[in-house]
Chains A and B, each alone.
Chain A
Amino acid sequence: QSALTQPASVSGSPGQSITISCTGTSSDVGSYNLVSWYQQHPGKAPKLMIYEGSKRPSGVSNRFSGSKSGNTASLTISGLQAEDEADYYCCSYAGSSTFSYVFGTGTKVTVL
């Protein structure tokens, strides 16, 4: 199972909105609304930001939103803040024939 494709880096100024894409195939992202997104600051464990495509866990800012179109899922961060600077990973279920989860390649978000 190949990793989902994410842009290596995305940047924006404070207050702007940015979108991170996560492209898979019809065997993973395209077949299931089971994409989650994780934020990871340097030296820290990942943190769940979005699950089941667009749901936000309790405590996660509503500046974070998720969506999907075809084989591509997206994470949008609105009102970009300095503390949003981190690495972001998507993850999808990919288990049509063999149970599997697949992560994205990761995106470094820089706040200019």
Chain B
Amino acid sequence: EVQLVESGGGLVQPGRSLRLSCTASGFTFGDYAMSWVRQAPGKGLEWVGFIRSKAYGGTTEYAASVKGRFTISRDDSKSIAYLQMNSLKTEDTAVYYCTRVPTIATFDYWGQGTLVTVSS
């Protein structure tokens, strides 16, 4: 059974950093691209970023709203994807979901999400 479990969320002050983790199980993690999607309270879904599998270079892509502040990485030996968030803003407050990406624009499995609250 495919499972994705996010961790690392919490309350953080504006301008500070936070790192989220996504621990995967039930599939060969290294074979898949992974993505992060967020949802502000009471709002819709917003794509945050994406990391390709090593077979496709392990390169990353980001939404314009987080480019230069957020970094996605992966440790295939541990089946973990990371989202490093720097220079956090109040508008980054959201539930952050980790997703598996088997093909372009397809997020087939989602974690339960972890809440990040940016507030002073």
- Chain A residues, CB < 8 A from B111: 45
Contact-residue bracket for chain B: 20 to 34
Pick from B37, B45, B97, B105: contact of A106, CB below 8 A: B45
B residues 82-120 near A (Cβ < 8 Å) are 97, 103-113
Interface size (A, Cβ < 8 Å)? 28
Contact yes or no, B103 A52, CB < 8 A = yes
Neighbouring B residues of A51 by C-beta, 8 Å:
103, 105-106, 108
Are A45 and B110 within 8 A (Cβ)?
A: yes
How would you classify the secondary structure of chain B's contact residues: helix, strand, loop or mixed?
strand
Contact in complex: B105, A45 (CB < 8 Å):
no
- A residues contacting B by CB (< 8 A) are 1, 3, 32, 34-36, 38, 40, 45-48, 51-52, 57, 89, 91-93, 98-106
Q: Lowest 5 A-B CB distances belong to which pairs?
A: A101-B47, A45-B110, A99-B61, A51-B106, A93-B105
21 A–B contacts from the bound complex (CB under 8 Å): A32-B104, A35-B105, A45-B110, A45-B111, A46-B107, A47-B110, A48-B107, A48-B109, A51-B105, A51-B108, A57-B108, A91-B45, A91-B47, A92-B105, A93-B104, A99-B61, A100-B47, A100-B63, A100-B64, A101-B105, A105-B44
List B residues at the A interface (Cβ < 8 Å): 35, 37, 44-47, 50, 61, 63-64, 97, 103-113
| Given A45-B113, A46-B37, A99-B61, 14 more pairs with CB closer than 8 A | A36-B105, A36-B107, A45-B110, A48-B107, A51-B105, A89-B45, A93-B105, A98-B64, A100-B61, A100-B63, A102-B47, A103-B37, A103-B46, A106-B44
